[in-house]
Structure 1
Amino acid sequence: MSAAGRTTAVAARPASPASDRPEPPVRGRASRRRRTAMLLFIVPALVFYAVLVIAPSLQSIQISLTDWDGVNPAYGYVGLGNYEEILGSERFWNAVRNTMLLGLGSALVINAISLAVALLLDRLRHLQGLFRTAVYLPALVSGFIAATIWKYILNFNFGVVNTTLQDLGLESWALDWLGDSDLVVWVLLFIICFTLGGNTTLIYLANLQSVPPEMIEAARIDGASGRQVFRYVTWPMLAGSVTVNLTLALIAGWTIFDQVMVLTAGGPGFVSETMAFFIYKVGFGEYRAGYGSAAAVVLFLVVLVSTVLANRYMRGREIQA
């Protein structure tokens, strides 16, 4: 049959009825039902989160504009008076300085030490699990318990540190570690760095073990030294974990509370107060809920802005790497 004949035959063939057409796949409907089921499971958690977290957070903005004492149901609106008082308070700016020092300092020190420890653990060939457990153990202890232990260790009269120094004949080195105004913030920084590095180390270690060994081997064959291998191969591959660890460390540093509460209670005087402890102290200890809420709003803005800027910078570094 010629081509023209085949074309005529095909054109003359009757169209199939609608009943013979294949039905649309049911995959789309099943997918929609699955998404609906997932949303139904999520809704209760979202409701609880909205009621217990989002609503009180929004209400704190309203309370920050009042003179409420936290107990009396009656209160009056003072506008931005609480914010003006906060910005003019030397005590508040001292808490800001301490928070900056502890937050930024702990983030940098923890990440530097954790990365060094992770590099050492990555090179181990024996007892790696034992050393991983030893590094991670401090992270399992709550900040309150760890601070209580350190409080007894650093006690001026019977603490292990001062007792040991006195037994060694170094009485002049025995200091009031938690009562010296010039020393207490640095002691807090040391304790925070000691207790918050376990998670950071494991994240770095997991990232190190995902670096393709072929790349490292190729760099060594090309004559790269160990420092060059780290600088040009390992370090760029760690960009993602550096972003995560720095962000988490910054957030933890801005909201330090447990260690200050247990070790110094903000003392001596107000020397070692952080922003989180300042909020607690004025809101619940001094019965100035409106003033404390205003400080909490300021802390929220500080955490938000610093986290966004740090993330933007680190994400840019990831792209360049």
Structure 2
Amino acid sequence: MSAVQRRNRWMMFFFILPMLVVFLAIVIIPSLQSIQLSFTDYDGISPTYNYVGVDNYHEIITSGRFWNAVKNTLILGIGSAFIINVISLVMALLLDRIHHFSGFFRTIVYLPSLVSAFIASTIWKYMLNYNFGAVNSILKKAGLEGWVHDWLGDSHIVVWVLLFLICFTLGGNTTLIYLSNLQSVPQELVEAAEVDGASGWQVFRHVTWPMLAGSVTVNFTLSLIGGWVIFDQIQVLTGGGPGFVSETMAFFIYRLGFGEYRAGFGSAAAVLLFIIVMITTVITNKYMRGREIQA
């Protein structure tokens, strides 16, 4: 390696050094400290704590509340990832066929993504209020009193209501990624398939869909990771209630660490969540990458 190359490498290293220091300070070091605290009875306030070994992990995996949070996380995470990707792909296909006022329609589709989850959830909280919410008021005026529900207070449906709201407010970025990928599909292939007598479905199945393999991998992985750490909607809409029914893993960790002052116990739950996210992400990526090769 020449002196010029060595100098250039050192220059690149010095350019990234400030960001590397910040990343170590606010991500890596706290993460390692969280692993340490997961083996203690730290309450988040006292300067002293005792090491309790794997007691926190044992208590977590034998807790019904923890497994309920895991179930909700799986429903909201996998469910929202699948539904958002299907809806976004359909919307992208429709937008790709619109030639007049295309910019206007794309803006309309993307707008919900510009609203923070906190604001969107606050709006929905008022709309779904049992006493004066717009949803129940409309149902009553339409003569559908039997459909009136305490949407956020009924333990049997609250998780499914949350799933709907999450899918409704997300998906703008996913749609744009699909749309940009659709516009890069060679039109010569599509036209050749149509000339050979292929139907619209056959063109999509054998030409368009394989070309979307990369964007499907990216979108599904990002949606899945986002689904695992859903927090804002739970905090605003239900607070984990009624009881602990609608808690997710992220909200479970927050409530343990900051609401019940069991930071050590919450750190153990955070470590388990990290392991779950890593495993599912690796498996999903491996499957999706394999599908890209086959496509």
Quick check: 1:100 aligned with 2:78?
no
1:136-159 CA-partner distances (Å, limit 9, x unpaired)? 101111111110011011111111
Q: Return the index of the structure with the highest Cα Rg.
A: 1
Matching residue of 1:221: 195
1:85-129 CA-partner distances (Å, limit 9, x unpaired)? 000000000000000000000000000000000000000111111
SS at match of 1:211: coil
Matching residue of 1:69: 43
**Matched ranges for 1:1-321 at <5 A:** 30-321=4-295
Moved over 6 A (4+): none
Matching residue of 1:17: none
Identity of aligned residues (%): 69
Q: What are structure 2's unaligned runs of at least 5 residues? A: none
Structure with larger RCO (C-alpha < 8 A, sep 6+): 2
Residues 132 and 32 (structure 1 numbering): CA distance in 2 closer, same or farther, change over 3 Å?
farther
TM-score for the superposition, normalised by structure 1:
0.90
Q: C-alpha separation between the residues in 1 aligned to 2:10 and 2:92?
A: 43
Q: C-alpha separation between the residues in 1 aligned to 2:23 and 2:261?
A: 27
Q: What are structure 1's unaligned runs of at least 5 residues? A: 1-26
Residues 28 and 221 (structure 1 numbering): CA distance in 2 closer, same or farther, change over 3 Å?
farther
Q: C-alpha separation between the residues in 2 aligned to 1:234 and 1:168?
A: 43
Matching residue of 1:19: none
Kindly state the Cα deviation for residue 55 of structure 1 after the two structures are TM-superposed: 0.1
Q: C-alpha separation between the residues in 1 aligned to 2:5 and 2:193?
A: 47
Kindly state the Cα deviation for residue 170 of structure 1 after the two structures are TM-superposed: 1.5
State the aligned residue count: 295
**Aligned Cα root-mean-square deviation (Å):** 1.1
Kindly state the Cα deviation for residue 28 of structure 1 after the two structures are TM-superposed: 5.9
